[in-house]
């Protein structure tokens, strides 16, 4: 399983992560599937709807997911995942992330160290929700 992010798409995600620092940013990934590769062609910035602990957590309401789903359909694309940032934390899913993730979607995480986006790694939740498996990010 691979996640293909064009340099433009990756730049948008990193810029969003930098802007929201020290809070977590989040957004939706739209694109197409080509065999085991997901090709992300469009990004929608979403609001982090958490009112507390926004340095450590993010929340996307069902209304925002529905909006992203509709926007994808209108563009002839699929909603394939959600990105978020980890301010001053590695690009590895937290226990909170595991509890709130759904199988199928891709979850790229970008680590932001002292305001600067660094590692970007992507994850998919296992079907039994016991943990994440990393997927390869390519350009
Ligand atoms: Zn997280």
Domain boundaries, the chain: 2-138
Q: How far is the CA of 57 from the centre of ligand 1 (A)?
A: 6
Tokens of 126: 């296992």
Q: Which of 132, 98, 138, 118 is nearest to 13 (CA)?
A: 118
Q: How far is the CA of 36 from the centre of ligand 1 (A)?
A: 24
Residue 58 above 90 pLDDT? no
Q: Which of 64, 67, 132 is nearest to 93 (CA)?
A: 132
* Per-residue confidence band for 54, with pLDDT thresholds at 50, 70 and 90: confident
Residue 9 above 90 pLDDT? yes
Q: What is the mean pLDDT of residues 62-80?
A: 95
Q: How far is the CA of 82 from the centre of ligand 1 (A)?
A: 11
Is residue 50 helix, strand or coil?
coil
Q: What is the DSSP letter of 106?
A: E
Q: How far is the CA of 26 from the centre of ligand 1 (A)?
A: 10
Q: How far is the CA of 86 from the centre of ligand 1 (A)?
A: 6
CA 131 to chain centre: 16
Q: In this predicted model, what pLDDT tens digit does every residue of 104-118 receive, in sequence order?
A: 999 999 999 999 999
pLDDT of residue 48: 83
How far is 12 from 43, CA to CA, in rounded Å?
8
Mode of pairing for the β-strands spanning 37-46 and 2-5? parallel
Tokens of 3: 């996640």
The end-to-end CA distance of the chain, in Å, is 14
Q: How far is the CA of 132 from the centre of ligand 1 (A)?
A: 12
Q: How far is the CA of 109 from the centre of ligand 1 (A)?
A: 7
> With respect to CATH, is domain 2-138 assigned 3.40.140.10?
yes
Q: What is the mean pLDDT of residues 62-76?
A: 95
Q: What is the mean pLDDT of the chain?
A: 95
């Amino acid at each position: 399983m691979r996640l293909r992010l064009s340099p433009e798409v990756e730049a948008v995600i990193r810029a969003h992560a930098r802007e929201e620092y020290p809070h977590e940013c989040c957004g939706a990934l739209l694109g197409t599937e080509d065999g085991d590769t997901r090709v992300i062609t469009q990004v929608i910035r979403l609001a982090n709807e958490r009112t507390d602990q926004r340095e450590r957590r993010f929340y996307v309401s069902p209304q925002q997911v529905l909006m992203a789903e509709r926007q994808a359909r209108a563009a002839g694309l699929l909603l394939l995942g959600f990105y978020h940032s980890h301010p001053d934390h590695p690009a590895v899913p937290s226990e909170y992330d595991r509890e709130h993730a759904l199988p199928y979607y891709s979850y790229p995480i970008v680590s932001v160290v002292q305001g600067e986006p660094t590692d970007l790694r992507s994850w998919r939740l296992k079907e039994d929700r016991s943990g994440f498996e990393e997927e390869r990010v390519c350009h």
